[in-house]
């Protein structure tokens, strides 16, 4: 949906370069594009404004105008500055719970993902050898307590919920007693979702904090939040005082500009990001990765991760071996296709490859993949292993069997032959290139 910033900038500068020299107004045009890109990523308007001024100063200082590749130069400045903004040398990494009682509050507005995140954090701590206790103080949303209990059971940790009609403070106090008895630490408290402008509920939360004195108050925020992110984060920080932020739902295609805004207005670090519905889908925050995302510049790291998720190490080694031994067959090819399909929509994968989005005309049709798979499915195992034996009559049969045309079958066989040739080159002895499967995509 969004055009790549890098491409836009290259376009501007290419047009201008034909004139020989770049003027300050050309840089301004580039800055305008950067501004639009950041706004489309939901970075707060005021944050963008300040940021653009910083980049302008830097860009002029570094003589971008004289550079041969001004587009690249400006992008580098933008990337560096963005990363700096999110990581002013205070990257705190994952939480290390200290001695009992180490109490962690998770707060935020409705639907930001607090309850799920409580369980994810707990699983994380459990893996590190801790014995956490989850505390349900959200007595407002129907079945919120049940949800926390179920999640606790799933990951095998304790959960505490009220027995009678106690309020959040009493629930926490009782939970602490239980934790002391059972030697639970840390204690992770789920709170009810509330809007920052809801005076009554904010006062309740402040009361809870003052009574319980948690070691960490973490704001759970949805990565898709728009301009409002600034108000949510600054109000929670000013009224309640937060120690960090957990950004959720980054497994979608949210650009996550809200993270930048929240970091900038609160000065508090982003500690974790939530990247899926599974309870282990949480990881420490890396500013540089989010920078790429905000700029919409391809996210090769995520792509690699997706590949790793879809293809096991073992499978990858197997394929590599086959390529090296030149025994890569249509059977293997089909297996690869299926794995690619498991990784999600093709056009999105392509968008993650830097530079690929430049090829706007390039449309990889999912249907095309289905067709290829159908053709391979219509071959006999023997044919899949020895594509060379597939003659005219076999081709006719395969086309009929797969509901495609002979031309389609021909095209596939030709492409496969070429791929094999390419693979052969990769593993040819004496050449520097080692048989790295990823090279095929470079």
Partner 1 sequence: MNLWQKIKTSLATTRQGLTQKIDRIFKDRGKITQTLLDELEEVLIMADLGVSATQKIIGHLQEKIRTNEVKDSEEVKDFIKTLIAQILEKNEIEESHKWQPPHVIMVIGVNGVGKTTTIGKLAWRLKKEGKKVLLAAGDTFRAAAIDQLEIWAQKIGVDFIKHQPGADPSAVVFDAIQAGKARGYDIIIADTAGRQHTKANLMEELKKMKRVIGKVIPDAPHEVLLVLDANTGQNALSQTNLFHQNLGVTGIVLTKLDGSAKGGIIVNIADTFDIPIKYIGLGEELDNLQEFHPALFASALLTD
- Please report how close the Cβ of residue 203 comes to partner 1 at its closest, in angstroms: 17
* The one segment of 139-147, 309-317, 330-338, 403-411 that binds partner 1 by CB under 8 A: 139-147
What is the distance between the alpha carbons of residues 191 and 188, in angstroms, rounded to a whole number?
Answer: 10
CA dist., res. 241 & res. 215, Å (int): 11
Q: Which residue in 81, 166, 228, 288 binds partner 1 (CB under 8 A)?
A: 228
User: Closest CB to partner 1 among 112 and 402?
Assistant: 112
Using CB under 8 A, which of 3, 40, 318, 439 touches partner 1? 40
User: Can you tell me the distance from the alpha carbon of 142 to that of 158, in angstroms, rounded to the nearest whole number?
Assistant: 21
Beta carbon of residue 38, minimum distance to partner 1 (angstroms, whole number): 10
- Site membership for partner 1, residue 263 (CB under 8 A): no
Q: How are strands ordered across the β-sheet holding 133-136?
A: 158-160, 133-136, 187-190, 103-107, 216-222, 244-248, 270-274, 282-284
- Binding pattern for the stretch 339-378 against partner 1, x by CB under 8 A and - elsewhere: ---x-xx--x------------------------------
Does position 121 interact with partner 1 (CB under 8 A)? The reply is no
Q: Work out the number of other CB atoms within 10 angstroms of the CB of residue 203.
A: 11
Contacts with partner 1: how many residues (CB under 8 A)? 50
Closest CA to 259 of 47, 35, 36: 47
**In the complex, what is the shortest distance from the CB of residue 280 to partner 1, in angstroms, rounded to a whole number?**
15
CB count within 10 Å of CB 66 equals 10
| Residue 165 or 393 having the CB closest to partner 1 | 165
DSSP output for 351-391: HHSTTGGG-TT----HHHHHHHHHHHHTS-HHHHH-GGG--
User: What's the rounded Cα separation, in Å, for the pair 80 and 74?
Assistant: 10
- For partner 1, which residue of 5, 75, 144, 159 counts as binding (CB under 8 A)? 144
Taking the least distance from each CB to partner 1, the nearer of 45 and 167 is 45
CB of 200 to partner 1, least distance (A): 12
Helix 199-212 × helix 168-182 angle, to 10°: 30
Q: How far apart are the first and last CA of the chain?
A: 25
Q: Which of residues 43-82 bind partner 1 (CB under 8 A)?
A: 44-45
- Pick the closer one to partner 1 by CB: 39 or 170: 39
- Most distant CA pair in the chain: distance in Å? 82
In the complex, the residues that contact partner 1 under the rule CB under 8 A are: 1, 36, 39-42, 44-45, 109-113, 140-144, 146-151, 154, 195-197, 222, 224-229, 231-232, 249, 251-255, 257-258, 277, 342, 344-345, 348
């Amino acid at each position: 949906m969004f055009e790549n910033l890098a491409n836009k900038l290259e376009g501007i500068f290419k047009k201008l370069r034909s004139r020989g020299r770049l003027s300050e107004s050309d840089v301004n045009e580039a800055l305008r594009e950067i501004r639009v890109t950041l706004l489309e990523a939901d970075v707060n308007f005021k944050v963008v404004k300040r940021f653009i001024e910083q980049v302008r100063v830097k860009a002029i200082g570094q003589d971008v105008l004289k550079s041969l590749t001004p587009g690249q130069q400006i992008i580098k400045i933008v990337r560096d500055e963005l990363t700096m903004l999110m990581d002013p040398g205070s990257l705190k990494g994952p939480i290390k719970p200290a001695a009992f009682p180490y109490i962690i509050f998770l707060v935020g507005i409705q639907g930001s993902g607090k309850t799920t995140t409580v369980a994810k954090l707990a699983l994380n701590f459990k893996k590190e050898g801790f014995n956490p206790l989850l505390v349900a103080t959200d007595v407002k949303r129907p079945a919120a307590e049940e949800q926390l209990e179920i999640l606790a059971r799933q990951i095998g940790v304790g959960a505490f919920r009220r027995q009678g009609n106690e309020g959040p403070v009493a629930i926490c106090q009782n939970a602490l007693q239980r934790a002391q008895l059972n030697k639970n630490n840390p204690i992770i408290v789920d709170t009810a979702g509330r809007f920052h402008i809801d005076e009554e509920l904010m006062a309740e939360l402040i009361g809870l904090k003052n009574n319980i004195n948690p070691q960490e108050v973490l704001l759970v925020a949805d990565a898709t939040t728009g301009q409002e992110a600034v108000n949510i984060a600054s109000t929670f920080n000013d009224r309640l005082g937060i120690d960090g932020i957990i950004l959720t739902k980054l497994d979608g295609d949210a650009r996550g500009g809200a993270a930048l805004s929240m970091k900038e207005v609160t000065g508090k670090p982003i500690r974790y990001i939530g990247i899926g519905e599974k309870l282990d889908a949480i990881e420490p925050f890396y500013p540089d990765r989010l920078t790429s995302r905000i700029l919409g510049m391809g996210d090769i790291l995520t792509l690699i991760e997706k590949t790793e998720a879809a293809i096991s190490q073992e499978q990858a080694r197997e394929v590599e071996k086959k390529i090296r031994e030149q025994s890569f067959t249509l059977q293997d090819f089909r297996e690869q296709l299926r794995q690619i399909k498991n990784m999600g929509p093709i056009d999105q994968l392509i968008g993650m490859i830097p530079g690929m989005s430049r090829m706007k005309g390039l449309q990889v049709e999912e249907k095309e993949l289905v067709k290829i798979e159908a053709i391979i499915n219509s071959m006999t195992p023997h044919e899949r292993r020895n594509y060379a034996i597939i003659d005219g009559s076999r081709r006719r049969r395969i086309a009929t069997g797969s509901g495609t045309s002979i031309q389609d079958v021909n095209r596939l066989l030709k492409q496969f032959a070429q791929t094999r040739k390419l693979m052969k080159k990769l593993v040819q002895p004496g050449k520097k290139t080692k048989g790295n499967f990823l090279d095929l995509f470079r």
